[in-house]
Amino acid sequence: MTELIGYNTALALVGALLFGFSSGHVGAFVYLRKASLLSDSLAHATLPGLVIGFLVSAFLGMEEKNSWVLLLGAGISALFGVVVIQWITARTKLGFDTAIAAVLSVFFGFGIVLLTGVQSVSVGQQAGLEDYILGSVSGMLLQDVIVIGLVSIMCSAAVMVYRRSLTAFIFDSVLSEMAGYAQHRMSFLLSLLALVITIIGLKIVGLILVVAMLTIPAATARLWTTGVWSMSLLSAVFGSTCAGIGVIISALLPNLPSGAVIVVIMFIALGLSIVVTHLRSSNV
């Protein structure tokens, strides 16, 4: 495979396949929970952390594209966004959707201000930031793929272990409590999984489009099945397949950001699924 598409592309392909599978797996439960807006908020809340991580690495004389520092900054920023959302909903009369919208806009706006400041003073090479905003597989290293792969496997494993408790939490909160599944714990688990998927997906699809990885494969799978577990597995297959195809296309056409290509492929799959399932139901 490396002889046909190159070593770097083969690495990125492996990471994308694993990430696509886990994002589709987790995304099915996020979709059923109707928490897609939360994942969008998490993605936009990573921007300030990315820029701050970039500035810290530059100040310390480190490589500006150091993925560990950038992802750590993004994770802290997104986690802080979750804390702010929870605080607003618990301490004020504002609704959950209002809190999400406020955090999404404020954090992303603050990130844009920081990004503009970095570009105006020409600190380091801003290409390292663009990879995380729009997505890029061209600069992925072996350590990036290893991190993405291991975390993706852990997220899918967590979904498999807690699939029954998550299903009960989503569809019947009373039954979930009676079965011993505390709602706040299940809510935290689902939010944590969405947060982790968002962070590791920044390099592949970018912060603007990473929410699509948690929603479109799940929406596509929902057209084909009604079972929760079958939907999550089918969503994982759709996510993995579309991510893999998108990475190969973006590697062949390096001027195209991988995130945009992957999302376009997923939209095509969704459109075809709508047409086919509609025709199938009409002929029954």
Task: Encode the chain (284 residues) as per-residue pLDDT tens digits.
Answer: 555 556 777 888 888 899 999 999 999 998 888 877 777 788 888 888 888 888 887 777 665 556 677 888 888 898 888 888 878 877 888 777 788 888 888 888 888 888 887 766 655 555 566 677 777 776 677 877 888 888 899 999 999 998 888 888 888 766 666 666 667 777 788 888 888 898 888 878 888 788 889 899 999 999 998 888 899 999 999 999 999 998 888 878 777 777 888 899 999 999 999 999 888 776 65
- Residue (of 240, 218, 183, 182) closest to 32 by Cα position: 218
What is the number of structural domains in the chain?
1
Helix (H), strand (E) at residue 154: helix 142-161
- Residue (of 3, 63, 38) closest to 193 by Cα position: 38
Cα-Cα end-to-end distance for the chain: 43
- Residue (of 42, 70, 44) closest to 55 by Cα position: 70
Helix (H), strand (E) at residue 36: helix 36-59
Supply the CATH number for residue 70's domain: 1.10.3470.10
Q: What length does the chain have? A: 284
Contact predicate 42/78, CB 8 Å? yes
Residue 15 structural domain: 2-283
- Residue (of 259, 48, 19, 22) closest to 136 by Cα position: 259
Q: What is the pLDDT of residue 127?
A: 52
Amino acid at 157: A
Q: What is the pLDDT of residue 21?
A: 94
Cα–Cα dist 145/220, whole Å: 27
The tally of CA atoms less than 13 A away on the side-chain side of residue 63 is: 5
Q: What is the pLDDT of residue 126?
A: 56
DSSP string over 95-157: -HHHHHHHHHHHHHHHHHHHHHHHHHHT-S-THHHHHHHH--STT--HHHHHHHHHHHHHHHH
Contact predicate 201/213, CB 8 Å? yes
Contact predicate 41/276, CB 8 Å? no
pTM of the model: 0.83
